Amino acid sequence: MTIAILIVVFAVLVLLGIPIAFSMGLSSIAAILFQGNIPFNVLVHRTVMGVDSFVLLAIPLFIFAGTLMEEGGLSARLIHFAQTLLGRFRGGLPMGVVVGTMLESGVSGSTVADVSAMATMTLKPLERAGYPKPYSLSVIGASAAFAILIPPCILMVIVAAIANVSVVALFAAGLLPSVLMGALVLGLIHIQARMYNMPRDKAYSGREILRGLKDAALALGIPVVIFGGIRLGIATVTEMAAITVVYALIVGGLVYRNLTWLKLRRALVQTAIATGIITMLMGLAMIFGYLLATQGIPMAVAGWMKEANIPPWGVLVISALIFVFIGSILEGAPAALIFVPILMPLVRALEIDVVHWLTIVVLASGIGLFLPPTGIAVLMACSIGGVKMEEMFKPMLPFLGVLFLGMTILIFFPWITTVVPQMLDLPY
């Protein structure tokens, strides 16, 4: 009965439009009051435990670094560089958006930030080139959906902390899958460009491409700084996040001279808001997860799947579908905070590679953000573009098909996610 009250109250509050964090907290309080034998100070204790981790300090630092880079003009330079590479091809402008989103994702660390930034910067150029808004927004949304795999990724930090695995190994695991997904999306655009005779953008000369590379080189160096510093033992993930902040301040403020005191203040405010939301979510989700665990839900789910003789690939498929569906309703972080602890015992019991599984979880959550009609990424894209949701369905379907195809390939070929961490000898 306790579980029924927990789930029903949570579902009702979500349907009423209450923020996810408050819905988790209030439903947990209702369940504790009903059960009666759980000390009320568990609320405080579990909330503190949910955020008391040195690794999680990387989250506000990466958010701040990403915001500084956006305000400092690094993102615009990355997008321009992508366009210089692909502009000469038919459909080159949307292809440039895909590559630009992949590069931008490594800067921002946030899917929602990627959609917002890319839609703001590229929607008008795409429209001027003759691309319909729904199609352009579909390209942006699909790119952001899989670019979540590119480090630094806030959701990766969260799920790594929940599962107690190496954040660096998870970052490395996302690199090759993101390239595969990018190739599939670019392939789809290439086919569409030939079918519908899409226009070509400006053909940039070799000198202009080199100039674009030089202009974006400092931004492209961010992953090298992060991975190089960690791999050489110079600093931990959290310390490298702090170094990235300093890097962003120097590049945006002193090199590009785009950062002003007003932009710095705006970046601090945005970071504080985003960090507050994530921290409250993680703290209150800890209580929610604690109640699920005390009622035996994780073991019950694991036991049911074992009795049903579901093979490891079946668990991966079920996990992917759960996170796609729940991620479209609750967003990636709440879905991970609830379901990763529930499914983790089964994943370990079946000896599924945890980093591979978490990579699938992150990708599925990214796709969920893009799933209509409730995915937050597609809702934000529609809002920015002034497009109705029903106009998005037709152009989105091919991209959703490609995203699911890519996720299926990753599920059945786990070496794609594990080869890079193994090559770099990253323990997890």
The predicted pLDDT at position 253 comes to: 79
Residue corresponding to tokens 């152009």? 395
pLDDT class of 400 with cuts at 50, 70, 90: very high
For residue 197, how far is the Cα from the chain centroid?
Answer: 33
> Which of 68-77, 101-110, 188-197: highest mean pLDDT?
188-197
Q: Tens of pLDDT along 301-342?
A: 666 766 777 888 988 998 898 888 877 776 667 778 778 888
Contact at 8 Å (CB) between 380 and 113? Answer: no
pLDDT class of 112 with cuts at 50, 70, 90: low
Contact at 8 Å (CB) between 334 and 24? Answer: yes
In angstroms, the Cα distances linking 211 to 204, 221, 323, 379 are 10, 16, 42, 36
Please give the Cα distance from 411 to 345 (Å, whole number): 19
For residue 150, how far is the Cα from the chain centroid?
Answer: 8
Q: Any idea what the Cα angle at residue 31 is, between residues 290 and 49, rounded to 5°? A: 30
Please tell me whether the peptide bond between 134 and the residue prior to it is cis, using omega within 30 degrees of 0: no
Q: Residue 178: pLDDT above 90?
A: yes
Residue corresponding to tokens 């439009």? 17
Q: What is the domain partition of the chain in residue ranges?
A: 41-423
- Range scoring the smallest mean pLDDT among 110-119, 148-157, 411-420: 110-119
Token pair in block for residue 408: 């299926």
Please give the Cα distance from 370 to 245 (Å, whole number): 29
For residue 366, how far is the Cα from the chain centroid?
Answer: 5
For residue 12, how far is the Cα from the chain centroid?
Answer: 27
Please give the Cα distance from 97 to 23 (Å, whole number): 36
Contact at 8 Å (CB) between 146 and 403? Answer: yes
The predicted pLDDT at position 306 comes to: 67
Paired with 90 in beta bridges are 200
- Answer with the residue of higher pLDDT: 345 or 306: 345
> Which of 31-40, 381-390, 401-410: highest mean pLDDT?
401-410
For residue 294, how far is the Cα from the chain centroid?
Answer: 30
Q: Residue 152: pLDDT above 80?
A: no
Task: Choose among 60, 61, 66, 68: nearest CA to 255.
Answer: 68
